[in-house]
Amino acid sequence: MIDFQVTRLSDALGAEIVGLDLGAAPDSATAARIDALLARHLVLVIREQSLTPAQMLSALSVLGPPVRQHYSQYLAPECPDVGILDSARAERGPDGRRVQLGASCWHSDHINRELPPKCTALHAVKLPGRGGDTSFANMRTAYKNLPEALRAQVETMHSVNGLDRNLIGVRKTDSERFGAPSVHPLVRTHPVTGEPALYFHPGKLDHFEGMSAERSAVFMNELLETILEPAIVYRHCWRPGDLLLCDNRACIHRAHDDYDHDEGRVMYRLLIQGDRPFYRPPTRLAYG
């Protein structure tokens, strides 16, 4: 097993890994350690990598199979399991500014799939001169902090999800291939740790079962306002070469839209398939 150093990044979540080179695929013991650290810390930042899309795919395939990303215009031509998120190539919105695929709102990636990605990997290839951070919020803590009556309510709720609404430039073939709705519990049990966490993507939410679309949107916004406090958030200021893994099963994220998109902020993105989300009431955990 490769020896590497792990340091916590914040009280909310996250750990930094130094001394691990993903230029070669990790052995199975190292992969198991990374998997366990991801489930515990929810975000892992592996410093000083320099990977091509194919190397990224090869190195991280030890964590699971890739999920094909649904906007095909952003896939690496030579390695289509990896997306290239280049702000200078993003579609332009009505005001003429480039917009990055709804990424600036809090979300968990590709929730509209039957088997959504357990993990998103982002590799910082080119960064803007200023701005362009990504924030991550701990949905385990958010769940624990809910008022008791609201916690009891969300445990019974299910979201019906599709492709993002109001996106520009979505290809018809992608809409047809990935547009089928999927239903997931609003609280999901982590398959590794057994801990519950809130699980949602407001931009992909069509409605909650038993609730109108309009009421669902209001409920979602109110829930976000209730849970999002600085104590559960880690804001990552990228360094070139960072390879960041985030656990989508218990963590949401948003990209800060505060930089010049034409300058070109380039991330390679790989999604790693997880299992079907489920909720099992915790038996050994007690929250005050």
Binding of Fe ion by 247 (CB under 5 A): no
Binding of Fe ion by 109 (CB under 5 A): yes
Number of residues in contact with Fe ion, rule: CB under 5 A? 1
For residue 243, the one-letter residue type is: L
Nearer to Fe ion, 33 or 204 (CB): 204
- Which residue bears the tokens 């709102």? 105
Nearer to Fe ion, 20 or 74 (CB): 74
**Which span sits near Fe ion by CB under 5 A: 46-54, 73-81, 101-109, 201-209?**
101-109
**Which span sits near Fe ion by CB under 5 A: 5-13, 102-110, 121-129, 230-238?**
102-110
Cβ 108 to Fe ion shortest distance, Å: 8
Nearer to Fe ion, 109 or 247 (CB): 109
Cβ 98 to Fe ion shortest distance, Å: 16
Nearer to Fe ion, 105 or 115 (CB): 105
**Which span sits near Fe ion by CB under 5 A: 23-31, 47-55, 106-114, 206-214?**
106-114
Per DSSP, 48 falls in state S
Nearer to Fe ion, 53 or 102 (CB): 102
- Which residue bears the tokens 């990044």? 9
Tokens of 171: 């290809």
Pairing mode, if any, of strands 158-161 and 205-208?
A: antiparallel
- Which residues of 113-209 form beta strands (DSSP E)? 117-126, 134-138, 158-161, 182-185, 187-189, 196-198, 205-208
Q: Tell me, letter by letter, the H, E, C secondary structure of 160-174.
A: EECCCCCCCCCCHHH
Binding of Fe ion by 35 (CB under 5 A): no
**Which span sits near Fe ion by CB under 5 A: 26-34, 58-66, 109-117, 126-134?**
109-117
Nearer to Fe ion, 196 or 203 (CB): 203
Q: In what order do the strands lie in the sheet with 134-138?
A: 233-236, 134-138, 251-255
Do residues 105 and 193 touch, judged by C-beta distance below 8 A?
no
Cβ 204 to Fe ion shortest distance, Å: 11
Q: What are residue 196's DSSP bridge partners?
A: 189
Q: Measured between alpha carbons, how far is 247 from 232 in angstroms, rounded to an integer?
A: 15
**Which span sits near Fe ion by CB under 5 A: 103-111, 199-207, 236-244, 271-279?**
103-111
Nearer to Fe ion, 49 or 69 (CB): 69
Cβ 109 to Fe ion shortest distance, Å: 4
Q: What are residue 122's DSSP bridge partners?
A: 244, 269
Cβ 120 to Fe ion shortest distance, Å: 6
3-class secondary structure, 277: coil
Nearer to Fe ion, 106 or 208 (CB): 106
Q: Which residue is at the shortest CB distance from Fe ion?
A: 109
Q: For residue 241, which phi and psi values (nearest 5 degrees)?
A: 95, -10
Cβ 194 to Fe ion shortest distance, Å: 25
- Which residue bears the tokens 């320099």? 50
Q: Measured between alpha carbons, how far is 155 from 227 in angstroms, rounded to an integer?
A: 15
Q: For residue 228, which phi and psi values (nearest 5 degrees)?
A: -80, 105
**Contact positions vs Fe ion (CB under 5 A):** 109
